[in-house]
């Protein structure tokens, strides 16, 4: 029975959390990125007066810089006049460069910090804006606080963040009910996902982020979540109830949008919410649509 349940859990983890992974060949972001022709990872880009901070996109668990936010949000923001960059972080030697955000959270934070330095050096900007989805949203909160990059960050837009830990769609809750937590740990580790253990409720990375205030002085935060998110659960775990933080459910603006966790990275409603958070002085009404319900 336990073997069967463990296999089911592994399948759920692979099918759910890694659904955005391995869509094609690619490597970590660089000046020769094939996406540069769309304005994404264009290292010749210089920020405009209208958008002085370059935007760094942080993908979710199991994805890469050219998937997730890199697929739709990157060209959307580039077309709006932003310098937009992304890199695959958190890859491991076993899974290689095609599956990111599975390594230890502290190591991923160091990689993201180094990439921010690279973007600032290339653009001659003094600060970046961070836009993250899923684990990338967690990292957008982690890097300013834990890695000391608050002075290099102006705005954070965190989408579907497991800020206070997640049950991974009730996976852990079921495991506790069945006394299967050792098996769940084994499944997660077998999948080369050290970040998974660190992001569950009570995980080491969550404990570190939640120790004391999350919001850092001088950084402007917007946290976006969906009431239909089936992986970052409970959905309210995303929010940070601190001064200087705006928390928003997508359904507060678009009540009929059924968008789920993965869909939030591709949802036109979310794209406009991101744009409004990055440039609130030029905010536009959101034209509501129907996002992917998973």
CATH (domain of 104): 3.40.50.1820
Residue 43 is assigned to a structural domain of this protein:
no
Specify if 292 maps to a domain.
Answer: no
27 falls within a domain: no
Instruction: Judge whether residue 175 has pLDDT over 50.
Output: no
Could you tell me the pTM of the whole model? 0.85
- The Cα–Cα gap between 139 and 141 comes to 5
Are the CB atoms for 183 and 6 separated by under 8 Å? Answer: yes
Confidence at 253, pLDDT banded by 50, 70, 90? very high
In a domain, 41, yes or no: no
DSSP result, 52-107:
-S-EEEE--TT--TTSGGGTTHHHHHHHTT--EEE---S-BTTTBTTS-S-S-HHH
> Residue 179 above 90 pLDDT?
no
Give residue for tokens 């020769």.
Answer: 32
Residue 129 is predicted with a pLDDT of 98
- The domain in which residue 80 lies consists of 2-18+56-282
């Amino acid at each position: 029975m336990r073997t069967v349940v463990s296999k089911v859990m592994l399948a759920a983890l692979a099918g759910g959390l890694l659904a955005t992974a391995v869509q094609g060949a690619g490597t970590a972001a660089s000046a020769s990125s094939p996406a540069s022709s769309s304005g994404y990872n264009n290292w010749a880009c210089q920020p405009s007066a209208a958008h002085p901070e370059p935007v760094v996109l942080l993908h979710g668990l199991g994805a890469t810089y050219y998937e997730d936010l890199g697929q739709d949000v990157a060209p959307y923001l580039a077309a709006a006049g932003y310098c937009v960059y992304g890199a695959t972080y958190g890859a491991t030697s076993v899974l290689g460069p095609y599956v990111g955000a599975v390594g230890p959270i502290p190591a991923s934070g160091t990689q993201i910090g180094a990439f921010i330095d690279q973007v600032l050096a290339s653009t001659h900007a003094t600060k970046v804006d961070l836009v993250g989805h899923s684990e990338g949203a967690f990292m957008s909160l982690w890097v300013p606080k834990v890695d000391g990059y608050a002075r290099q960050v102006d705005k954070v837009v965190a989408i579907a963040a497991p800020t206070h830990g997640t049950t991974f769609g009730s996976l852990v809750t079921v495991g506790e009910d069945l006394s299967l937590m050792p098996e769940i740990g084994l499944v997660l580790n077998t999948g080369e996902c050290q970040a998974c253990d660190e992001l569950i409720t009570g995980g080491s990375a969550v404990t570190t982020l939640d120790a004391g205030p999350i919001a850092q002085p001088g950084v402007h935060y917007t946290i976006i979540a969906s009431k239909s998110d089936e992986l970052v659960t409970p959905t309210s775990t995303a929010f940070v109830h601190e001064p200087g933080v705006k928390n928003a459910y997508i359904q507060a603006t678009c009540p009929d949008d059924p968008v789920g966790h993965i869909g939030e990275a591709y949802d036109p409603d979310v794209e406009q919410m991101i744009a409004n958070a990055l440039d609130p002085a030029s905010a536009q009404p959101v034209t509501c649509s129907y996002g992917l319900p998973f």
